[in-house]
Amino acid sequence: MKTIVIVDDHTLLSQAISGLVNSFDNFEVLYTCKNGQELLDNLRFENKRPDIILMDVNMPIMDGIEATAQVKELYPTILILALSVEEDDHTILQMIRAGAKGYLLKDTEKRTLENALNELALNGYYHTNTVSQLLVKSLNGNNKDALRDREIEFIKHACTEMTYNEIADVMFLSPKTVQGYRDSVFSKLNLKNRTGLVIYALKNGLFRP
């Protein structure tokens, strides 16, 4: 059973989310907090710490971005899933950079929330396609080392058990062209081997096993 703490300044919404999470088979809510400071105080004095924190972004006293950064520093084993009404790219990236392992909007469906929690507990992260794309854009910036769409496609195939020749077949390319993609990706990401590429792809949500 994975334990959850909910951090949200709207009491009724917090209670509703708590009831929802408690209805899931593998999760139970330990307690709720109204802001980041209350969360940190509880983490400091409570004997039992949660496995996962559902963190709102906009809260009084201490917001979710600052609270996430402090939890990440003080309690690195606790996983944080942002659950917010904010959907602008800047806010999402701020939360991910602060240490959140996923980002969901509050109008998400029950099944999506349960799936996110299960993936977070199993893999250590939950990245939607939107978050993955934002991370790639953020990492790429506007420089000459930006990953191209076909290179990202190559990365996804390279995370499987396919050989480079098999990847060339499914991408309808020559083996030489695929080798060029490999060399380019390794150079841009400063990687030395395929194992490092798989780790990179998993951490940045480009591939899900």
pLDDT averaged over 10-residue windows placed end to end, the chain, 209 residues: 95 93 95 95 89 95 93 94 84 84 88 92 81 63 62 90 93 90 85 86 77
* pLDDT score recorded for residue 144: 41
Cβ atoms of 83 and 56 closer than 8 Å: yes
CA distance 69 to 42: 16
Residue type, 120: L
How deeply is 1 buried, as exposed, middle or buried, from its count of CB atoms within 10 A (0-12, 13-18, 19+)? exposed
Cβ atoms of 165 and 199 closer than 8 Å: no
- Look up residue 117 and give its DSSP letter: H
Question: Tokens representing 184?
Answer: 């380019």
CA distance 30 to 51: 10
How big is the chain, counted in residues? Answer: 209
